[in-house]
A = this chain, B = another copy of it.
Amino acid sequence: MKGEAAFLEVIGRHFPGCSLGVGIGDDAAVIDIPSPAVVTTDVLIENVDFTRELPVRFIARKSLAANVSDLAAMGAVPHAFVCALGIPEWFEPGFETFTSELAAAAREARIELVGGDLSAADALTISITAIGRIAEGARPLLRSGARRGDRLFLSRPVGASAAGLALMTKGWRIFGDGSAAPPPHAGGLAFAHRELAASLLLRHAAPEAETALGAALARIPEVGACIDVSDGLALDLSRLLAASGCGAVVDWRRIPPFPDLVEGALALGIDVRASVLEGGEEYALLFTASATESELSSRLRRPVYAIGRITEGSGIILDRDGERTPLEPRGFDHFAR
C-alpha cells in the first residue's frame, strides 16, 4: 500500500455506491433517515480489545458487531455507519481482507457504510459510529424501562465469548476459516474438546448481534428495559437496574450456559461462573417484560430465557438453589490496568 489513495481504492471496490444519499467521497455523507435517529459509537484498540493473534476478518466482525448490538439493545433497525481507522504498518497486508469482511458483515446486518476517515497509527484502531432508525409501530428501548414485578430475560445462552477469550489467553489459536488449534503443550484431554474450543473461540472472534430480536422487542408493549451484554451479565444488569431505580433477583439455575460449556470446562480450564456472569462481548440482549417466558417465546417465535425478577431496592441478588447472596457488578473494565 502507498498512501491514503491506495486504501480508498480498496474501500471503493468493496463498498460501491450508497443507496441512502451522498456516501463516501465528500467532506461528509448526506443521508436520508427518519427521526428519531439512534446513534452509537464504539472504538476497538489493538492490545486492549483484541490482539494481532485474532485473524483480521474477525477483527472486522467484532468491530461492527459491537455497534450493531448497541442498536439492537435500543430496539433500532441498522441504517448507516461511518468507520474511522488508525492503521499501523503490520495491518496493511490485511487491509483488503478486513475491508471485504466488513462489507460482508454490513450486508448481513443491512447497514450501509456512508463515510470514514483514515490515519496512520502504531496500534490498530477501529472506531465505528452506527446510526439506526426506529421502525414503524416500535419505540426505543431504554435501560430505564424496568418495573418492579417484571420478569428479567436473557436472549440466549452465554459464557462462550469469555471462555473463548480465556482459551486465547491459554495459547489456543483460531484461524480465519474458523478452525482452532490447541497450544503446543496441551494435553489429550484438551485436544478431545477441540470442537467445543473452536465454537467458543468463534463466539469470541465473531460475536453476533441480536438485531432481529431487538427490533421485535421494540414492538411489544409489555417489554420494559433493554441492554446488551457487552461488559458482562452482572455489570450490564447493574447498569439497567441503576437506570430503572430497581433491584433484581437472578436464579442461577435458569441462566442458560453455552451448550457443552459446563461439560467441557474442567478439561479446557474454564471458569464457568465467571464466564457466564462476568464475560463481556456476548451481545445477548438482557431485557425486562411483564410477560411470561412462554408468552414471549411464542410471540417472538424463538426461545428467550426468564432468569429472574425485577424487585424494589437496588443491586442484584443471586439465588443458587435457595441460597441468596449479593452479586457484585463485576465485568469488563477497559481501565483495569
User: Contact residues of A with B, CB < 8 Å?
Assistant: 1-4, 7, 21-22, 25-45, 47-49, 70-71, 73-74, 76, 80, 82-87, 89, 114-123, 125, 127, 129-132, 134, 140, 142-144, 226-228, 243, 333-337
Partner of A119, one of B40, B70, B334: B334
How far does the alpha carbon of A265 sit from the alpha carbon of B292 in the complex, in Å?
76
- A43→B86 CA distance, assembly (Å): 8
A84 touches B120 (CB 8 A): no
Is the CB–CB distance between B335 and A115 below 8 Å?
no
3 closest A-B pairs by beta carbon, nearest first, are: A28-B40, A127-B127, A129-B129
Count of identical protomers in the assembly: 2
A122 touches B123 (CB 8 A): yes
| CB proximity of A116 to chain B, nearest CB, Å | 6
Are B27 and A227 in contact, CB atoms less than 8 angstroms apart?
Answer: yes
A86 close to B26 (CB less than 8 A): no
Identity of the chain B residue whose Cβ is nearest the Cβ of A134 in the assembled complex: B30
- Known contacts A28-B39, A121-B125; 4 further A-B pairs (Cβ under 8 A): A3-B336, A26-B142, A27-B73, A31-B36
| Residues in chain B near residue A47, CB distance under 8 A | 122
> Which residues of the partner chain B approach A86 to less than 8 Å between Cβ atoms?
43, 45, 48, 125
Residues of B within 8 A of A125 (CB): 43, 45, 86, 121, 125, 127
Residues of B within 8 A of A132 (CB): 28
Contact B43 A36 (CB under 8 A): no
Which of B30, B71, B127, B142 has a CB less than 8 Å from the CB of A38?
Answer: B30
Q: How far is the CA of A227 from the CA of B177 in the complex (A)?
A: 43
Q: When the two chains form the complex, which single residue of B28, B38, B80 contacts A74, counting CB atoms closer than 8 Å?
A: B28
CA–CA, A240 and B83, complex, Å: 22
- Cβ-defined contact, A39 with B115, below 8 A: yes
User: Which residues does chain B contribute within 8 Å of A134, judged by CB atoms?
Assistant: 30
Contacting pair B28 A32 (CB below 8 A):
no
Residues of B within 8 A of A140 (CB): 22, 30
Determine whether the beta carbon of A41 is less than 8 Å from that of B337: no
Instruction: Give bound CA distance, A333 to B243, whole Å.
Output: 45
Determine the residue in chain B with the shortest Cβ distance to A231.
B4
Report whether A41 and B115 are in contact in the complex, using a CB–CB cutoff of 8 Å: yes
Chain A to chain B contacts (Cβ below 8 Å), 19 pairs: A1-B335, A3-B333, A27-B143, A28-B39, A28-B40, A30-B36, A33-B35, A33-B37, A39-B80, A39-B82, A41-B84, A43-B85, A45-B119, A49-B119, A87-B335, A118-B334, A120-B335, A121-B123, A122-B122
Report how far A336 CA is from B226 CA in the complex, Å: 45
